[in-house]
């Protein structure tokens, strides 16, 4: 019975579906019929009125023209003449007859078609003479429907008779009938074609694709681990629906996994992990209605316009990766530079848009910069000055006065936007991001001392000797000290900052609270090692079933695969990594043809000369190594410089045995944590630079000095040869740490520290 019930349910469902389809078609036909009848009635009424008016007008003209000759002869009693006139006009087209009556409605002259003493006619004639006013009406005679029009005849004193004109009106009914007939035929034709079209649309465009969506949702709702064999619809009509259903499917999958996790945690009596939901509830509890504003240079969603079509993408940014989950959970407003070619196309009159575009959670407020402002503030002072200065990556920082002026101007422009956004907001919470806005905290604090301001510095802070080369160091430090809370990734960066302030500015340093007091305002300095949105729901969020494109098919056939995922930036140690790969292949020739190194490197800051030159160096190094070790169709390095989605990167992580993070200097480096989160099988080896902030936490990675090429080469071999048990032991500990200290916990701790200071 169990197996037989399945076809029965399917047949029952199919029968119900067919009934609904037929009902839909009948409803469409009914609506079309009502529309056709309504328009036909209106058309017939208008046509009838028009034809009748025309007939009445022609009858009036004929009667008036005849009266001039009939009236004097009627008075003179020229009956023979009158009869001749009647008979002459009786033969005209559409003329039903003519008659002349005396004042007693006796017939003086009449055509043969006019029936004598017809009550309908004599009534009309009698009323016309009594009223002494021309009039007419439609009557039905044995010959058919006619229009009777009569007008009075006068002598010098009174009405002496009447002239009656009868015109054939049957053609009006024929014309109206033809309209009904043609419209009914048109209705049946349209109904047939419309039913056929509706059936085809329902079956192929809606019914089948929706069934695929339903099966996809059912699979998740039933906690099926097997992916649905049905492909989601890709037609333009249902693409928005497919996207929404896919979002719902992912949400359901997350909910299923989350429920399992929570049940397991309750069973094991463990603490509840930090999730978006917990962060949201936490924020509601501590913020108590205060509004949150995030300010950054880079926006979380960039809209571009190509060939008249506006699309969006998520930029390759560790900052966006970290802050986005917090904004999802907390809501609020994110203020950022609108850099996309289609950004202006989608904002409202106040330069705002709700994001994410597919599932809005918060407001994105865009700030517009001129090309000159962007070149000076972003490419100039921020990335040719502060970036190399803070990273100490052996690239000389450049400080130009015009860049500094642009940096101050843009910070001022953002301050104006922030102040306009918080104009009517009581005690707002401002979360300012990174080295682009060192001056912003002080600018806002002067105008709104009630605002709680936090600044998180995402890049390293160098020692005082290194920072002292900046000619504008005092202004930068003073601007940063306008914040209530200043966060860095590590305690070392905090120490360097406080030490720098102590040597550069007149201030009071409270080493016990690790705070700086300047001008009566206290800034607390604390480490907050940033993380990612790692929870057990990441399976659903990233898409476990994502399939890599043909570009990466070779990964599946290689016994050993290592990956690096970076922006094309000289601080990421990409050239040093390539040198280590070269040495590895030279030192361990047995790995040749069996090993693949995948390097994902999204282009970055291409307007800056050093970055262009660095890209050329990387291209040349990859080409040299591939040419040196190429064997047949095998090349050791697969280099991809295009942008990749989160799903693609996650799939690449999972296909890799080793991940290389060889930063020369890095605030944190979230790639290391993303790689750990992706390996749900607890396999894989992370090779991590000692100069990345993540190395302070992820002690079970293979920690290396990226400048020691031989050490990195040996670490690659160790990673490929590491026992499965060792991989699992290390990965399990690192996954536990990243899971416990995820971005939701990072956001909660930063916000909690801000609230305590307000």
Which pLDDT belongs to residue 399?
Answer: 96
Is residue 351 domain-shared with residue 315, that is, in the same domain? yes
How far is Cα 310 from Cα 232, in angstroms, rounded to an integer?
Answer: 23
Intervals of the chain under pLDDT 50:
1-14, 222-230, 263-270, 537-543
Domain boundary among 461, 496, 527: 527
Which pLDDT belongs to residue 213?
Answer: 66
Is residue 342 domain-shared with residue 406, that is, in the same domain? yes
Residues 599/637, Cβ–Cβ less than 8 Å: yes
Helix, strand or coil, per DSSP, at residue 667: coil
With a CB cutoff of 8 Å and minimum separation 6, the contacts of 704 are: 662, 687, 688, 689, 690, 711, 712, 715
Residues 660/716, Cβ–Cβ less than 8 Å: yes
Is residue 555 domain-shared with residue 510, that is, in the same domain? no
Residue closest to 619 by CA, chosen among 660, 656, 583, 578: 578
How far is Cα 553 from Cα 551, in angstroms, rounded to an integer?
Answer: 6
On whether residue 307 sits in a domain, the answer given is yes
With a CB cutoff of 8 Å and minimum separation 6, the contacts of 102 are: 108, 160, 161
Is residue 726 domain-shared with residue 694, that is, in the same domain? yes
With a CB cutoff of 8 Å and minimum separation 6, the contacts of 530 are: 322, 456, 458, 489, 667, 668, 670, 743, 746
On whether residue 248 sits in a domain, the answer given is no
Is residue 514 domain-shared with residue 559, that is, in the same domain? no
pLDDT in tens, 157-166: 788 888 888 8
With a CB cutoff of 8 Å and minimum separation 6, the contacts of 392 are: 460, 462, 466, 665
Is residue 474 domain-shared with residue 570, that is, in the same domain? no
On whether residue 612 sits in a domain, the answer given is yes
Residue closest to 668 by CA, chosen among 488, 536, 474: 488
- In 417-572, beta strands by DSSP E: 429-433, 452-456, 485-488, 508-510, 515-518, 521-527, 560-567
On whether residue 454 sits in a domain, the answer given is yes
Is residue 522 domain-shared with residue 560, that is, in the same domain? no
Is residue 433 domain-shared with residue 580, that is, in the same domain? no
Distances in whole angstroms, Cα of residue 261 to Cα of each of 5, 266, 365: 34, 9, 36
Is residue 719 domain-shared with residue 582, that is, in the same domain? yes
On whether residue 138 sits in a domain, the answer given is yes
Pull the structure tokens for residue 568: 């094309």
Residue 360, phi then psi, degrees to nearest 5: -55, 130
Pull the structure tokens for residue 178: 């033809």
Cis, peptide link before residue 694, omega less than 30° from 0: no
On whether residue 176 sits in a domain, the answer given is no
On whether residue 424 sits in a domain, the answer given is yes
DSSP string, 361-425: -EEEEEE---HHHHIIIIIIIIIIIIHHHHHT-S------HHHHHHHHHHHHHHHHHHHHHTTT-
Q: What residues make up the domain containing 666?
A: 546-741
User: What CATH number is given to the structural domain containing 110?
Assistant: 3.30.450.20
Residues 596/555, Cβ–Cβ less than 8 Å: yes
On whether residue 159 sits in a domain, the answer given is yes
**Do the strands 521-527 and 485-488 form a parallel or antiparallel pair, or are they unpaired?**
parallel
């Amino acid at each position: 019975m169990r197996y037989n019930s399945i076809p029965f349910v399917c047949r029952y469902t199919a029968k119900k579906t067919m009934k609904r389809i037929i009902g839909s078609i009948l409803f469409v036909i009914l609506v079309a019929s009502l529309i056709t009848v309504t328009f036909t009635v209106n058309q017939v009424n208008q046509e009838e009125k028009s034809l009748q008016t025309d007939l009445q007008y022609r009858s009036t003209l004929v009667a008036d023209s005849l009266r001039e000759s009939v009236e004097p002869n009627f008075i003179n009693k020229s009956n023979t003449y009158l009869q001749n006139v009647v008979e002459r006009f009786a033969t005209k087209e559409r003329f039903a007859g003519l008659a002349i009556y005396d004042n007693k409605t006796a017939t003086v002259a009449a055509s043969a078609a006019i029936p004598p003493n017809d009550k309908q006619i004599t009534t009309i004639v009698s009323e016309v003479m009594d009223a002494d006013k021309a009039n007419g009406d439609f009557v039905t005679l044995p010959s058919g429907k006619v229009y009777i029009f009569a007008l009075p005849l006068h002598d010098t004193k009174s009405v002496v008779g009447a002239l009656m004109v009868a015109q054939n009106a049957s053609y009006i009914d024929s014309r109206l009938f033809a309209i009904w007939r043609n419209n009914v035929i048109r209705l049946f034709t349209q109904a047939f074609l419309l039913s056929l079209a509706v059936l085809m649309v329902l079956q192929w465009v809606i019914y089948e694709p929706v069934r695929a969506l339903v099966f996809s949702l059912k699979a998740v709702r039933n906690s099926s681990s097997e992916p649905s064999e049905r492909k989601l619809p890709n037609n333009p009509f249902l693409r928005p629906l497919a996207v929404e259903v896919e979002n719902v499917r992912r949400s359901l999958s997350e909910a299923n996994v989350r429920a399992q996790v929570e049940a397991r945690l309750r069973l094991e009596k463990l603490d509840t992990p930090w999730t978006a939901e917990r962060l949201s509830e936490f924020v509601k509890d501590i913020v108590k209605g205060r509004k949150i504003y995030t300010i950054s240079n880079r926006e979380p969603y960039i809209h571009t316009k190509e060939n008249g079509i506006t699309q969006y993408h998520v930029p390759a940014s560790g900052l966006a990766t970290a802050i986005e989950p917090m904004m999802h959970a907390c809501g609020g407003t994110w203020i950022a530079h609108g850099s996309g070619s289609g950004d202006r196309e989608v904002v409202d009159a106040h330069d705002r848009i709700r994001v994410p575009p597919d599932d809005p959670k918060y407001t994105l407020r865009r700030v517009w910069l001129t090309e000159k402002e962007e070149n000076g503030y972003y490419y100039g002072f921020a990335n040719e000055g502060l970036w190399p200065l803070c990273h100490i990556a052996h690239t000389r920082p450049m400080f130009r006065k015009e860049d500094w002026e642009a940096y101050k101007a843009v910070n001022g422009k953002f301050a104006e936007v922030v102040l306009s956004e918080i104009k009517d907001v009581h005690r707002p919470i401002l979360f300012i991001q990174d080295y682009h806005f060192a001056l912003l905290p002080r600018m806002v604090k002067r105008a709104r001392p009630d605002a709680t301001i936090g600044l998180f510095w995402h890049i390293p802070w160098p020692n005082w000797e290194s920072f002292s080369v900046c000619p504008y160091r005092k202004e930068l430090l003073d601007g940063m000290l306008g914040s209530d809370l200043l966060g860095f990734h590590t305690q070392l960066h905090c120490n360097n900052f406080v030490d720098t302030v102590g040597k550069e500015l007149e201030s009071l340093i409270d080493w016990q609270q690790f705070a700086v007091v300047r001008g009566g305002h206290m800034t607390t300095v604390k480490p907050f090692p940033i993380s990612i949105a790692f929870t057990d729901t990441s399976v659903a969020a990233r898409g476990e079933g994502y399939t890599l494109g043909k570009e990466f098919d070779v990964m599946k056939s290689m016994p050993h695969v290592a990956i690096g995922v970076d922006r094309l930036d000289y601080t990421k140690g990409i050239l040093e990594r390539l040198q280590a790969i070269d040495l590895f292949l030279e030192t361990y020739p047995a790995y040749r043809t069996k090993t693949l190194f995948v390097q994902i490197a999204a282009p970055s800051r291409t307007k800056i000369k050093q970055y262009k030159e660095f890209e050329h160096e990387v291209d040349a190094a990859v080409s040299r190594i591939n040419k040196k070790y190429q064997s047949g169709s095998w090349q050791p390095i697969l280099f991809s410089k295009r942008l990749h989605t989160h799903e693609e990167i996650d799939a690449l992580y999972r296909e890799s045995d080793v991940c290389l993070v060889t930063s020369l200097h890095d605030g944190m480096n979230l790639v290391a944590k993303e790689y750990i989160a992706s390996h749900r099988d607890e396999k894989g080896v992370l090779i991590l630079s000692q100069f990345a902030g993540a190395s302070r936490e992820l002690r079970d990675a293979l920690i290396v000095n990226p400048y020691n090429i031989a050490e990195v080469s040996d670490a690659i071999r160790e990673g490929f040869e590491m026992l499965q048990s060792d991989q699992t032991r290390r990965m399990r500990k690192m996954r536990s740490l990243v899971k416990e200290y995820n971005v939701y916990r990072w956001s909660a701790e930063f916000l909690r520290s801000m609230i305590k200071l307000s």
